[in-house]
A and B are shown apart, each in its own frame.
Chain A
């Protein structure tokens, strides 16, 4: 696995703000990805690159195909055609768990906290290479006990950082919606990914928690991780992203720095065309893409 480079937001100044533009150091490259449901084309992405070590936002009106695109990239759905690679490794036909093992970990729009596991169990589950997860070795606790202790230590540290430590022995079902979003992100970090993909991390999160979530995402960039996130909250997009990609009707219609994209006429038309009453700065998406 390649060692992630340190954060470099300066790429944004040198990269051309046109759809499908080349990045100086892309971690993810997608080519000609098409996904159709019946006669409907949900995703049709000609070319897309994601810069390593950046925070990239993926925005677009409802039904633009953002979540479907996420599902395709992470192996949860397969495209009718197209290819894409992560760190130079072709991901065509790679199942979701292998995508995660390669270092690309995702979260879900509808939070998938494991309700009848405690918070700390949710966290420990994320750790890789656990000896105790082998069916034969699980019978002999002395084989995995030391490793389990290390995992718990790491999990506790992350939980402390995410201010979930007092909840560690509660069932995940007992958390609030926002806390579950936090837990899901924290759990994804336990996998030690190189790239993390967040599907609407802010949906349903109260304003107090929002700020700390933003800080956590920025921290990820400081640690050299790449972040790609789908979001409707334009304040958040503006505040933390280095680069913004806009999708509409399955296609990438614009990309660029937050400022340039939000002034882009095509983008405003796409939003207004799809939802006349939608304010660009509100976060509301009921039905998924």
Chain B
């Protein structure tokens, strides 16, 4: 995923002293995508009262322009000066503006530079984004299915669900990069371990005792927040803050399939993802335990009265949900690497998908996930990539206004 966020920013810095007559310093550093400084790049500043000044970056890539008047200044980078293979990530952002409202301060400005972006047709971009969106939707769907099953059977809105993905990713990384098992062996072990730790153990030693105590739903929700915070920083403590790639298949080249390019590892992990979703759906629809889980969702008291072992059903749902979410984490890890924030970044999208589909409806979660996945990716055709999650969340809010029960949810009865 390409992110231009934080490459281009404007901030003002008040570290200078406050004599009103002092000049305001506009400054910045021009560096390439790897952070290496670019020297001899021409930058032109224009401003009020005919102000115009041209400077060049020094050996460290630094430049500065001092101004003595307040007002709006425009700084333009000479794009021709950029070396081969380097260009602005957004060619239209060759000029940035600086608002100088007080003198004696420093304003830092950056120009976003990355590898030259190859021009592709709108059709190709749309096709590529649609495929990316479907894969993202699948990842969200794997996680959302489990979240929704757990919500349906226990009423728990689990804010620590994202951490199941992170743990899945970390286990895969540990087995593959440190124990040096092949990825193809690491993944099944990671999924089994994830199902055991995040599913069985979590339910057995945390949620089951809480249910027995009669802890309220909101109280359990807050407990899950505490757990999420604990796990997140525990992962950070163990693993550090970087995003790490699996050494195997790291630089895999993409296959060109018609309009889209896709890596073999992405194809394989996606196919298994689809298989897991199909199996989980069959489990829900065909097996005794799956049917029982739906009965528990509908009416726990009635299910229990009709001889269903509710605790056993909940345990099964936790194990299944954790296995699916772990695999969602595996897909992200194999294709994009793993970081301790991975789960947190996904959690809101998972919630959005579940809400969109209708809380507690299993197939709704899948539909919602695909919509969110597609929307997040396709929206970048029209809005900046860094705002793609914002777009998805706004859509969520709009859909809630129009159809409060979600796309597939049923209207509630009162009284």
Q: In the complex, A touching B, CB below 8 Å?
A: yes
Interface residues, chain A, CB within 8 Å of chain B?
37-38, 67-68, 70-71, 76-77, 108-109, 199, 288
A68–B414 Cα gap in the complex (Å)? 8
Contact status B413-A109, CB under 8 Å: no
A68–B415 Cα gap in the complex (Å)? 7
Query: How many A-B contacts if CB must be within 8 Å?
Result: 17
User: Could you pull out 17 A-B pairs where Cβ atoms are within 8 angstroms?
Assistant: A37-B413, A38-B410, A67-B415, A68-B413, A68-B415, A70-B415, A71-B414, A71-B415, A76-B414, A76-B415, A77-B413, A77-B414, A77-B415, A108-B415, A109-B415, A199-B415, A288-B415
Question: Which A residues are in CB contact (< 8 Å) with B410?
Answer: 38
Question: Which A residues are in CB contact (< 8 Å) with B413?
Answer: 37, 68, 77
Contact with A along B389-415 (1 / 0, CB 8 A): 000000000000000000000100111
A70–B414 Cα gap in the complex (Å)? 11
Question: Which B residues are in CB contact (< 8 Å) with A108?
Answer: 415
Question: Which A residues are in CB contact (< 8 Å) with B414?
Answer: 71, 76-77
> In chain A, what residue has the closest Cβ to B299?
A287
Choose among B410, B413, B414, B415 the residue with the greatest number of A CB atoms under 10 Å from its CB: B415
Interface bin, chain B: under 10
A288–B415 Cα gap in the complex (Å)? 8
Contact with A along B212-253 (1 / 0, CB 8 A): 000000000000000000000000000000000000000000
A70–B413 Cα gap in the complex (Å)? 13
Question: Which B residues are in CB contact (< 8 Å) with A68?
Answer: 413, 415
Min Cβ gap A14→B in Å is 34
> In chain A, what residue has the closest Cβ to B302?
A287
Contact with A along B263-289 (1 / 0, CB 8 A): 000000000000000000000000000
> In chain A, what residue has the closest Cβ to B412?
A77
With A38-B410, A70-B415, A288-B415 known, 5 other A-B pairs at CB within 8 A are: A77-B413, A77-B414, A77-B415, A109-B415, A199-B415
> In chain B, what residue has the closest Cβ to A108?
B415
A108–B414 Cα gap in the complex (Å)? 11
Interface residue ranges of B358-415 to A (CB < 8 Å) = 410, 413-415
Min Cβ gap B121→A in Å is 47
Min Cβ gap B410→A in Å is 8
A21–B415 Cα gap in the complex (Å)? 28
A118–B311 Cα gap in the complex (Å)? 37
Question: Which B residues are in CB contact (< 8 Å) with A70?
Answer: 415
> In chain B, what residue has the closest Cβ to A37?
B413
Min Cβ gap B302→A in Å is 9
Question: Which B residues are in CB contact (< 8 Å) with A71?
Answer: 414-415
> In chain A, what residue has the closest Cβ to B415?
A71
Question: Which B residues are in CB contact (< 8 Å) with A199?
Answer: 415
A76–B415 Cα gap in the complex (Å)? 8
Which 9 A-B pairs rank lowest in CB-CB distance, beginning with the nearest? A71-B415, A76-B414, A67-B415, A76-B415, A77-B414, A71-B414, A108-B415, A37-B413, A70-B415
Question: Which B residues are in CB contact (< 8 Å) with A76?
Answer: 414-415
> In chain B, what residue has the closest Cβ to A199?
B415
A76–B413 Cα gap in the complex (Å)? 9
A68–B413 Cα gap in the complex (Å)? 9
A38–B410 Cα gap in the complex (Å)? 9
Min Cβ gap A78→B in Å is 10
A70–B415 Cα gap in the complex (Å)? 9
A77–B412 Cα gap in the complex (Å)? 10
Question: Which A residues are in CB contact (< 8 Å) with B415?
Answer: 67-68, 70-71, 76-77, 108-109, 199, 288
Min Cβ gap A22→B in Å is 29
